[in-house]
A and B are shown apart, each in its own frame.
Chain A
Amino acid sequence: MELLSTNILIFAGLALVMIVAAFAAVTTSRMMRAVTYLLFVLFGTAGVYFMLHYTFLGAVQIIVYAGGIVVLFIFAALLIGKGTIDVTHTSKRRYFAGLLTSVSAMMITLYLIVTSGFSTDKFTVDGVPMKVVGTALMGTDKHNYVLTFEVMSILLLACMVGAIMIARKK
């Protein structure tokens, strides 16, 4: 069992791109750049789903997140325009307090993950066939999700009406 297989190399590249882009997204001072870096993170997440052989999930991620949400962000950044150019940070003290809090919480979580001994031997490379996804989404048996699906559709309708109501000019 060689240590550096192709999967691990691909994963390492993906993880590097995602972490660098995520860090750039929360530190850059220009709004459009932050949104573009977020787009790289979202594409990387789709790559992670493809690596888990959840191809449908990867496609949904690209269509909804990278295609829909990022367009919304870009619209907002362009509509607001001048107000978004200069993202001023907080005072140095609060900046380092935030850095310290998130880094220490991250260290605790990473320690718990590394020492948990999570079993990985059940992973199969079969993926999920499209027919299984369709029947599970529309079925009414156990482990089927038709109620959640309908609740989601009502939520999206309500959110559409709400967004129009909020953003409409008086």
Chain B
Amino acid sequence: MIVPAEFYLILATILFFIGVFGFFTRRNLISLLVSTELMLNAVDINFAVFNAYSHPEQLEGFFFTMFGIGIAAAETAVAIAIIINVFRNVKSIHIKNLRNLKH
């Protein structure tokens, strides 16, 4: 018996909203990035599941997942470069110390 598609979608939903919860409550730039990765990962699972269960003869979701992984890699590299630069200038990555752009 194959696993129903709803199970995968439920798993992806739970992972996505754990990421949202982390994004709301964490106060550290790297933790925020970890939460973002969780959300991106859940979306990638959804792409693959919808492809496999509703249009297995085409590969749209497959390639969207693959390009999504590539874009996540690019985004993480730039974000970590920015975080390291912020740490070098502000000596902290806690977001309560990063208020210069706010006003």
Chain A interfacial positions (CB closer than 8 Å to B): 1-3, 5, 7-8, 11, 15, 18-19, 22-23, 25-27, 31, 34-35, 38, 41-42, 45, 48-49, 51-54, 57, 60-61, 64-65, 68-69, 72-73, 75-77, 79-80, 83-84, 87-90, 94-95, 97-99, 101-103, 105-106, 109-110, 113-114, 118-120, 122-126, 128, 132-133, 136-137, 143, 145, 148, 152, 155-156, 159-160, 162-164, 166-167, 169
Question: Are the CB atoms of A2 and B15 closer together than 8 Å?
Answer: no
Question: Are the CB atoms of B21 and A54 closer together than 8 Å?
Answer: no
Q: A83-B94, A87-B27, A102-B21 are in contact. Are A166 and B34 (CB under 8 A)?
A: no
Chain B contact residues (Cβ within 8 angstroms of A): what range? 35 or more
Question: Are the CB atoms of A19 and B22 closer together than 8 Å?
Answer: no
Question: Are the CB atoms of B70 and A156 closer together than 8 Å?
Answer: yes
Closest CB-CB distance, B81 to chain A, in whole Å?
A: 4
Mind listing 11 A-B residue pairs with CB under 8 Å? A22-B18, A26-B21, A73-B80, A83-B92, A83-B93, A94-B24, A102-B24, A120-B4, A136-B63, A166-B82, A167-B85
Closest CB-CB distance, A147 to chain B, in whole Å?
A: 11
Question: Are the CB atoms of A69 and B30 closer together than 8 Å?
Answer: no
Contacts A27-B22, A65-B69, A84-B93 known; list 17 others, CB within 8 Å. A22-B15, A23-B18, A26-B21, A26-B35, A57-B65, A73-B80, A94-B24, A113-B10, A118-B5, A118-B6, A122-B54, A123-B56, A128-B59, A133-B59, A143-B58, A163-B80, A166-B81
The listed residue (B6, B31, B67, B88) touching A34 by CB distance below 8 A is B31
Provide the bound-state CA to CA distance between A138 and B64, in Å.
15
Chain B interfacial positions (CB closer than 8 Å to A): 1-11, 13-22, 24-28, 30-31, 33-35, 37-38, 41, 44-45, 48-49, 52-56, 58-60, 62-63, 65-67, 69-78, 80-85, 87-88, 91-94
Provide the bound-state CA to CA distance between A22 and B13, in Å.
12
Provide the bound-state CA to CA distance between A1 and B3, in Å.
12
Instruction: List the 9 shortest-distance A-B pairs measured between CB atoms, nearest first.
Output: A26-B22, A98-B24, A106-B17, A159-B74, A167-B81, A102-B21, A163-B81, A5-B1, A166-B81
Question: Are the CB atoms of B24 and A54 closer together than 8 Å?
Answer: no
Provide the bound-state CA to CA distance between A34 and B48, in Å.
26
Closest CB-CB distance, A16 to chain B, in whole Å?
A: 10
Provide the bound-state CA to CA distance between A99 and B73, in Å.
28
Closest CB-CB distance, B102 to chain A, in whole Å?
A: 16
Question: Are the CB atoms of B15 and A48 closer together than 8 Å?
Answer: no
